[in-house]
Amino acid sequence: MRIGVPREIKSDEYRVGLTPTAVREYVARSHEVLVEQGAGAAAGYPDEAYQRAGARLAAAAEAVFADAELIIKVKEPQPEEWARLGPQHILFTYLHLAPDPLQADGLLASGCAAIAYETVTDAAGGLPLLAPMSEVAGRIAVFSAGETLLKHNGGMGLLISGVPGVPPARVCVLGGGVVGMNAARMAAGLGAEVVVVERSIPRMRELDNMFLGRILTRYSTLDAVEEEVLKADVVIGAVLTPGGTAPKLVRREHLAKMKRGSVLVDVSIDQGGCFETSRPTTHHEPTYVVDGVVHYCVANMPGAAPRTSSEALVHATLPFGLQLANRGLEALAQNRHLAKGLNVLKGQVTHPAVAEALGKPFADPYGAWK
């Protein structure tokens, strides 16, 4: 199969869909790989490294889309990329379609098969292709919160770790999944006072055992969320509905009661955000203020660490990408976990949570790819 790797064009996105090491794995299995010139440069992978791995270089994205059958990216395609997709393409990337009806319509019109990293599952019910970026995002969220708390960045002027005789920041993490666990780990490591609000009692037990009582856990109710948000100096939104829109846990009316200069970091922003006042921001303009509360809602947080993120992502996606390259869409019939990633096929929405979020009919994909 011919695999195409275009350069990412979303604002402040420096990751790349395949590293040279991954390219070599595809080439070793007799696949052709076409990489747009400069696609990996920002992540530290020069064009020469791709050539040594066996890839061909394309001068522009148009050539990549025109020649390739399987397109491997990182972030959701942008409008100019929708126009380059057709029924002959399998797109393998993060999509986050639930809060993005325009992208969904673009993919539906293209006729392509679009497989989303974030809805591929594993035998344990986890999301193996979302997990590595959730790990990065959870850790970056705490560093970003600490910076944003500083006065010159709009925060209240609080050092997240405190110093002897001065209490540290109180960090509330909404959600105890992969993002939340990594955020709690980093915040606790910096010396912050950490509370995780979670609705799974078994998960709270895991976190309690993991951190040996170093963090607090609270069962998620409306009262608990409101109480912890109002006490917090930092709130990290880390909730997820696979394929669907994130629930709005913090409402506009809460902000008026929060501490002035406190910080909201919405890691759920790719799925619409879990704060009512969230809107996507960029690494160049990461924050804005609503009712005296600073919002940090960068939609591609791992893009700030492209070398780490690209390698971690490729390690997770490579086995699935090779299955698609080896068998095409037939791989979905042979791997039910990969099949869960299929969001769009032949102009129809094929993931129930995505269809519900977008208000579109759900088309059962089983057998459709044969």
Q: Which residues are catalytic, by number?
A: 96, 270
CA angle 209, 212, 216 (to 5 degrees): 90
Could you give the strand order of the β-sheet that contains 170-174, starting from the edge strand earlier in sequence? Answer: 216-219, 193-198, 170-174, 234-237, 263-266, 293-296, 287-290
- Which residue's structure tokens are 């344990």? 124
Per DSSP (E only), the strands in 146-292 are: 170-174, 193-198, 216-219, 234-237, 263-266, 287-290
Residue type, 69: E
Q: In sequence order, what DSSP letters do the residues of 58-78 get, joined into one string?
A: ESSHHHHHHH-SEEE-SSPPP
Measured distance CA(312)–CA(288) in Å, rounded:
30
Closest to 35 in 3D by CA, of 316, 88, 48, 44: 48
Element (H, E) at 115: strand 113-116
Give the phi and the psi of residue 235 in degrees, each rounded to 5: -120, 125
Element (H, E) at 164: none
